[in-house]
């Protein structure tokens, strides 16, 4: 399959580059990973007066953050009652409350630091892919209303008017949410952190991490770095590091394609309100537009010909006027997905945390978790973390689960959306 590349890399208004790390350096907090979590943590820490170093093994936003759909969601894939059932009422509601306000944090940071990332807060539409999906959305709506969330159930007719297609059975609109250009957003966080004094380095993979006395020693390239506190925020893109082993978590690939910018005569009825969308299917798909008028469709799976064929068929099925639309970009990224679909904060040693497992909800949770982790590591106070840190995390057969997810997506997409 011809590689058409990532739309986000070609359209990001925010640019960022940093040199590889070199020499012997020391800091208060060292962050490994230049995605939403790591860059948010660096920005928060430097704002608290800390001396901060961030290491990114490739470039800022190279991993899942720069390959994201760009939906700034309030909450997780799981309904809030399920979060409480899994964690217990007190811990579950603490997490639900943090995530409910996480889009506020994202859009506040965008405004405060003038991040050019196409922010639009028109809400999201959770689309019912089948009648049972609408029943699930009505149950979720009831749970969210009990928590005073500004959510509304739309019937099939209202959903067709909001999306421009009759292909869904209803929707749940969440006014707290919105969309961004995700790579531009994470680059903007990095730029803001550097402007405030954080030291960021690209092409600087951590090769070894050890604890010596009351400091962490991190080796990268030919450099040796000493840090009082450590945050590992590599999520699905973690690379092996000598002397430190993190849990293996199942990964899910997510594929997207984008049309060329469309004239208003073709696309005026497609998401006219500017909402971002995701559906209730087990093999989830997403739909949105960008500021230039491109339609972007995504689905679980890697960027093989099977997924690309499905996406083109699906696009034409939902919007017949796009059957001959030029496809200019297609790309994929990886999602870290724990078995219970809940993120984890793992304590990996004294004054050291690792965060992973957003299950495809990286933007708002990653921003909130990163800021909370930075505060906790600098103050020693864990009370404001969204989740209690755990000392260990074990996933059964993560490699097999990854293969099952990918095989399932390919099988579904091989036969789906065929007329």
Domains of the chain: 7-123+176-415 (3.50.50.60)
**Is a pLDDT exceeding 80 seen at residue 119?**
yes
**Is a pLDDT exceeding 70 seen at residue 1?**
no
- Give Dmax (Cα) for the chain: 66
**Is a pLDDT exceeding 60 seen at residue 92?**
yes
Give the whole-number percent of the chain exceeding pLDDT 70.
97
40/64 Cα distance (integer angstroms): 15
Mean pLDDT over 344-367 rounds to 96
Cα-only R_g, the chain: 21
Q: What is the pLDDT of residue 243?
A: 95
Q: Which of 147, 136, 154, 155 is nearest to 78 (CA)?
A: 136
Mean pLDDT over 71-75 rounds to 96
350/338 Cα distance (integer angstroms): 24
Q: Is the dihedral of CA 300, 185, 47, 121 positive or negative?
A: negative
**Is a pLDDT exceeding 50 seen at residue 413?**
yes
Q: Is the dihedral of CA 332, 14, 106, 122 positive or negative?
A: negative
Give the whole-number percent of the chain exceeding pLDDT 90.
87
Q: What is the pLDDT of residue 410?
A: 74
Per-residue confidence band for 304, with pLDDT thresholds at 50, 70 and 90? confident
Per-residue confidence band for 408, with pLDDT thresholds at 50, 70 and 90? confident
**Is a pLDDT exceeding 90 seen at residue 265?**
no
Q: pLDDT tens-digit profile of 367-398? A: 999 999 999 999 999 999 999 999 999 988 88
Mean pLDDT over 233-253 rounds to 93
**Is a pLDDT exceeding 90 seen at residue 307?**
no
**Is a pLDDT exceeding 90 seen at residue 130?**
yes
154/403 Cα distance (integer angstroms): 36
Which one is predicted more confidently, 417 or 333? Answer: 333
**Is a pLDDT exceeding 50 seen at residue 70?**
yes
Q: Is the dihedral of CA 329, 176, 334, 31 positive or negative?
A: positive
Token representation of residue 81: 């009652």
**Is a pLDDT exceeding 60 seen at residue 418?**
no
Mean pLDDT over 131-157 rounds to 98
91/83 Cα distance (integer angstroms): 9
**Mean of pLDDT over the chain:** 94
**Is a pLDDT exceeding 60 seen at residue 358?**
yes
Residues in the chain: 419
Q: What is the pLDDT of residue 417?
A: 62
Q: Which residues contact 400 (CB under 8 A, 6 or more apart)?
A: none
**Is a pLDDT exceeding 90 seen at residue 302?**
no
**Is a pLDDT exceeding 50 seen at residue 336?**
yes
| Residue tagged 């700034």 (tokens) | 72
Pairing assessment for the beta strands 352-356 and 295-300 based on DSSP bridges: unpaired
**Is a pLDDT exceeding 60 seen at residue 3?**
no
Q: Which residues contact 351 (CB under 8 A, 6 or more apart)?
A: 216, 228, 229, 230, 377, 380
**Is a pLDDT exceeding 70 seen at residue 405?**
no
Q: Which of 219-233, 331-345, 404-418 has the lowest mean pLDDT?
A: 404-418
Q: Is the dihedral of CA 332, 333, 336, 341 positive or negative?
A: negative
| Residue tagged 């292909």 (tokens) | 167
Mean pLDDT over 290-314 rounds to 90
| Residue tagged 């909370």 (tokens) | 372
Per-residue confidence band for 419, with pLDDT thresholds at 50, 70 and 90? low
One-letter-per-residue 3-state SS of the chain: CCCCECHHHHHCCCCCCCCCCCCEEEEEEEEECCCHHHHHHHHHHHHCCCCEEEECCCCCCCCHHHHCCCEECCCCCCCHHHHHHHHCHHHHHHHHHHHHCHHHHHHHHHHHCCCCCCCECCCEEEECCCHHHHHHHHHHHHHHHHCCCCEEEECHHHHHHHHCCCCCCCEEEECCCEECCHHHHHHHHHHHHHHCCCEEECCCCEEEEEEECCEEEEEECCEEEEEEEEEECCHHHCCCEECECCCCCCEEEEEEEEECCCCHHHHCCCCCCCCEEEECCCCCEEEEECCCCCEEEEEECCCCHHHHHHHHHHHHHHCHHHCCCCEEEEEEEEEECCCCCCCEEEEEECCEEEEECCCCCCHHHHHHHHHHHHHHHHHCCCCCCCCCCECCCCCCCHHHHHHHHHHHHHHHHHHCCCC
Q: pLDDT tens-digit profile of 148-203? A: 999 999 999 999 999 999 999 999 999 999 999 999 999 999 999 999 999 999 99
Q: Is the dihedral of CA 219, 220, 226, 227 positive or negative?
A: negative
Q: How many CA atoms lie within 13 A of 204 on its CB side?
A: 28
Mean pLDDT over 357-363 rounds to 92
**Is a pLDDT exceeding 50 seen at residue 103?**
yes
Q: What is the pLDDT of residue 266?
A: 87
């Amino acid at each position: 399959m011809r590689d058409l590349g990532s739309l986000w890399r070609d359209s990001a208004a925010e640019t960022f580059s940093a040199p590889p790390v070199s020499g012997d350096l020391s800091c208060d907090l060292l962050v490994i990973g230049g995605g939403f979590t790591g860059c948010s943590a660096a920005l928060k820490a430097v704002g608290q007066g800390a001396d901060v170093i961030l290491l990114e093994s490739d470039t800022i936003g190279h991993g899942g953050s720069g390959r994201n759909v760009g939906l700034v969601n309030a909450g997780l894939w799981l309904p809030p009652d399920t979060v409480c059932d899994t964690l217990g009422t007190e811990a579950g509601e603490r997490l639900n409350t943090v995530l409910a306000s996480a889009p506020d944090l994202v859009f506040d940071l965008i405004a405060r630091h003038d991040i050019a990332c196409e922010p639009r807060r028109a809400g999201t539409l959770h689309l019912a892919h089948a009648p049972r999906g609408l029943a699930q959305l009505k149950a979720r709506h009831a749970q969210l209303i009990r928590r005073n969330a500004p959510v509304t159930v739309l019937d099939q007719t209202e959903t067709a008017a909001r999306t421009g297609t009759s292909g869904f059975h209803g929707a749940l609109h969440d006014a707290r949410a919105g969309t961004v250009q995700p790579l531009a957003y994470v680059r903007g966080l990095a730029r803001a952190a550097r402007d405030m004094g954080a030291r960021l380095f690209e092409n600087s993979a951590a090769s070894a991490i050890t604890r010596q006395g009351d400091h962490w020693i991190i080796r990268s390239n030919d450099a040796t770095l000493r840090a009082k506190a450590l945050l590992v925020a590599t999520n699905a893109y973690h690379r092996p590091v000598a002397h430190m082993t993190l849990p293996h978590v199942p990964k899910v690939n997510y594929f997207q394609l984008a049309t060329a910018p469309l004239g208003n005569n073709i696309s005026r009825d497609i998401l006219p309100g500017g909402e971002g969308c995701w559906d209730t299917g087990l093999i989830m798909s997403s739909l949105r537009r960008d500021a230039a008028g491109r339609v972007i469709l995504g689905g679980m799976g890697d960027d093989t010909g099977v997924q690309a064929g499905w996406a083109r068929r699906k696009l034409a099925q939902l919007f017949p006027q796009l059957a001959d639309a030029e496809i200019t970009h297609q790309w994929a990224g990886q999602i870290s997905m724990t078995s219970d679909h809940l993120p984890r904060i793992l304590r990996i040693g004294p004054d050291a945390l690792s965060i992973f497992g957003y299950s495809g909800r990286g933007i708002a949770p990653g921003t909130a978790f990163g800021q909370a982790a930075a505060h906790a590591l600098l103050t020693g106070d864990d009370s404001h973390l969204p989740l209690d840190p755990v000392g260990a995390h074990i996933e059964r057969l993560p490699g097999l689960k990854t293969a099952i997810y990918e095989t399932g997506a390919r099988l579904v997409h091989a036969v789906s959306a065929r007329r």
